[in-house]
Amino acid sequence: MPRRFTPQEEHVIRENLRQAARAQMGPRGVRRTSIEDLVGAAGISKGSFYRFWESKESLALDLLAEWEREFHRAVEERFQSEQPRGFEDSAAFLLSVLLEEFPGRMIAAGMQGLLDSAEIAYLARTAGEREARIMDEQDLRFFERLRPLFLKAGLRPTENKPVIVAGLRAIFEVGASVVSPAASGLGPATSDDSTASSVAEGGPRAHASASAAPNLSSPADGAPHSGPKHAPPGRVLAPEHFHRALALIIEGFLRQTFSEEVT
């Protein structure tokens, strides 16, 4: 039976577990991090871990929620500073957030493993009702803070708030599949060595072709690849193709869910 901890000890252990998770899950992802890894760094038994979190996935979601709050604040401040106007400016703003702000802050925080699109999909599947509700409420509050900024940009919502919030989340999930952690050259690769090396050669702006394109023909359910069957995706679909596609998706979404009232 796990021993009892004093309130002070519980506080220290909780922070130690969070630090261990940032150090290990942040770069590696939740699936590559075991509870044994975390408790070893925190100096407690595996049984004691469950006094603090229900699972390593719950701990990972807490870290993501914390990171997302900081990211939301940065986006809100940048929106206020840049003051885009109309559909085109606002779409360009959101695109720059996806391609610049998102990967920059992800790398600076050491979260490239947890923010990998495959990790996010995994956590979405395993999230409990409580975690899902917390993330939904956080996104809804974020949109409430952005609403007056959209109005100032001349865009008035024409859809209800949950639909717009779900759309913004979907755009960011699509963006996360393009802005691959491995592609930054600063995080561990989550794909095969050939992909990782092609990204390293191309630099940060080569990430789209090395991360998103292979997923178009990837085997389902993580089945192993039998070997390359096509030309390297970067020779067919260059990063600018993905960036342009994202721009079209974002502007189309804005035009479907807002009306433009720029004078």
Classify residue 237: in a domain, yes or no: yes
For 202-227, the pLDDT digits (tens) are: 333 233 333 333 332 333 344 433 44
Burial (0-12, 13-18, 19+ Cβ within 10 Å), 26: buried
SS3 71: helix
To 10 degrees, the CA torsion angle through 251, 255, 259, 262?
Answer: 40
User: Are residues 27 and 62 located together in one domain of the fold?
Assistant: no
Give the tens place of pLDDT for each residue, 135-194.
899 999 999 999 999 999 999 999 999 999 999 988 888 877 776 544 444 344 333 333
Question: In DSSP terms, which residues pair with 258 in a beta bridge?
Answer: 157
Contacts of residue 117, defined as CB under 8 A and 6 or more positions apart, other chains included, come to 173, 176, 177, 180, 211
Q: Check whether residue 210 and residue 254 sit in a common domain.
A: yes
Q: Report how far apart, in Å, the C-alpha atoms of 21 and of each of 8, 180, 198 are.
A: 20, 20, 29
Same domain for 75 and 49, yes or no, is no
The reply to whether 234 falls in a domain is yes
Are 121 and 23 members of one domain?
no
> How far out from the chain centre does Cα 215 lie?
17
